[in-house]
Chain A
Amino acid sequence: MDGHTVPGRLPRSVIVEGPTFFQSAILMDTLVRIEVPSGTMEASGPTVARAFQWFQEVEEVCSRFEESSEVMELVRHPGVPQVVSPLLFEAVRFALRVAEASGGAFDPTVGHTLEQRGFNRNYRTGERVSTEIDTDRSVSYRDIHLDLDSRAITLREPLIIDLGAVAKGLAIDLAARELRPLGNFAINAGGDIYVGGSNLRGEPWRVGIRHPRRDGELLTSVQISDRAVCTSGDYERAVDGENHLVDPRTATSASAVCSVTVIAPTAMAADALGTAAFVLGLDAGVQFLRRQGAQGLLVSDSLVQRSTPGFRRYQVQ
């Protein structure tokens, strides 16, 4: 399995139980692995293939790194309403709602800042992406307008939409929906995880949360079923001491928190809410998650931990 991974990149949370049938692929710049306990090629293979297909669908629509993606097509035409696919519309819509709810701590218009900071490499081609837009303008999620009736999106300013924190989760959720008939399954996309049903032993799945500072150690483990768990950390994809979680309000990397783990019914919510909580900081982040009905665990730079009350229910002692 090590053959899959890019050196230096470790998963943030891991499933610590054994599967029977599994397939893996690199999609959306990460190793995606789907497991079906007691599955077989004939019984599970077609469904698993469909699940993988969702990752491709989402990537084709939402990737900031593919010039041909629908979202980049949208970005090229600021100022005019553009009718988009349901997939893109829902993804943007959800991103905007998280932005609103977090007071801008999460902001999908952070795309250009990411590009400028060097998070702009297409993982397939290795090419760097650079989009010509008016860089002097300060933009925010408020510059994206949705028309619910016509499913049109209008960018009021030139800006780049980054759906990174939404798209991978969305793909996981769509894949999970596809796999639901199988009952028991696990999807692991680079540490963003959704588990359905139970493991081979008929127990809830057990997911380990990687320690943010000690390589190879687990911070804790949770036992969950029909839930997503996503961990955001500052230990991946760092460029020159900065991480890819950028505070849209100050355009610098958020630093007070070093790890956020969120458990939610969907990976899309877990990932996006976790990204917002990361930026909000230790205490405000926990409060934010709680208000959203999600469970979470935050760890500060100095390894102080805060969790929502409900999080402990999932923890394995």
Chain B
Amino acid sequence: MADQDRPMPAAAPKTPVRRTSSSRKISRRLVVTSSAAVLAIYAVGYIRTKPAADRIAAAASQFQSSQSAAPSAATGQSTSVSVALTVPTVQSPASTVPVPTSPSPATTTDDSNGGGSTGDDGNSIVATNPTVASSPTSSNAAPTTVVTAPPAPTATPVAAASKYKDGTYTGTGTSRHGDISAQVLVKSGKIVSAQITACYTRYPCSRISDLPGEVISQQTTNVDMVSGATDSSEAYLQAVDNALQNAT
């Protein structure tokens, strides 16, 4: 990694990059200028992001009220689903190799880890961490490394209603178009609500707005996907499945 201390060779053939001292001053400020530009836009546009925050805040406060009912446990379903949202106040240790893609980049060379979940060699790759390891009781599948297969798609049939414990549960499902979070409310062993609480898919979640009703009427996630929105459907149903894992 040789440092560059020599004078700069001629850069651009026609328009030299070497600047006069005055324009050099201007360009030196470029990095600073970028910060100023960001602040200027932010100041003007701050109001525009408020509705997004309000929606989430409403959803969050909603299940705060029913919080006591829910058991803890962040359960990464073993596949690439990560349950990022569980019960409020309980840390939700999403099991993760935060690398959003290839199984490998994290597992390499000088970072001597054996694939994600070890990550104990001091300060390098971390998949799990102390908080995760000692995290709340009922986590069934201990935080898993996330690099396995694509989300198991077709919803595992969830049988009769009575097997659910009452409470409010949340889960997240993943698709290649983004994540969807759902909050499931169980009363008297039945799913009475299964609403979408966060929709980060590239398509509007209105496309699958019928699905929560389907889940309630069928009492299962084994419902038909919305045609033309199968990925979003899967993500939603995964989210509900994940939520219901805490209810069994």
Contact = CB atoms under 8 A, between A and B. Distances in A.
Interface of A: 1-6, 9-11, 14-27, 31, 33, 35, 38, 40-42, 45-54, 57, 86-87, 90-91, 93-94, 97-98, 100-105, 124, 170, 173-174, 177-178, 186, 188, 199-201, 203, 206, 208, 210, 215-218, 221, 249, 264-266, 268-269, 272-273, 280-281, 283-284, 286-288, 290-294, 297, 305-309, 312, 315
**Interface class of chain B by DSSP:** loop
A35 B131 CA distance: 16
Contacts of A306: 1-4
B108 A206 contact: no
B125 to A, nearest CB: 5
A206 B124 contact: yes
Interface in B186-205: 198, 200-202
B94 interface: yes
Contact of A15 (B9, B98, B198): B98
B184 to A, nearest CB: 14
A103 B16 contact: yes
A22 B94 contact: yes
Contacts of A19: 94, 96, 98
A118 to B, nearest CB: 22
Contacts of A48: 56
B97 interface: yes
Contacts of B206: none
A104 B15 contact: yes
A208 B123 contact: no
Nearest to A311: B1
A188 B27 CA distance: 27
Interface in B127-166: 127-129, 131-132, 146-147, 149-151
Contacts of B61: 42
A206 B110 CA distance: 13
Contacts of B119: 18
A177 B151 contact: no
Contacts of B19: 101, 291
Given A218-B105, A293-B30, A18 B198 contact: no
Contacts of A273: 30-31
A3 B150 contact: yes
Contact of A46 (B57, B92, B127): B57
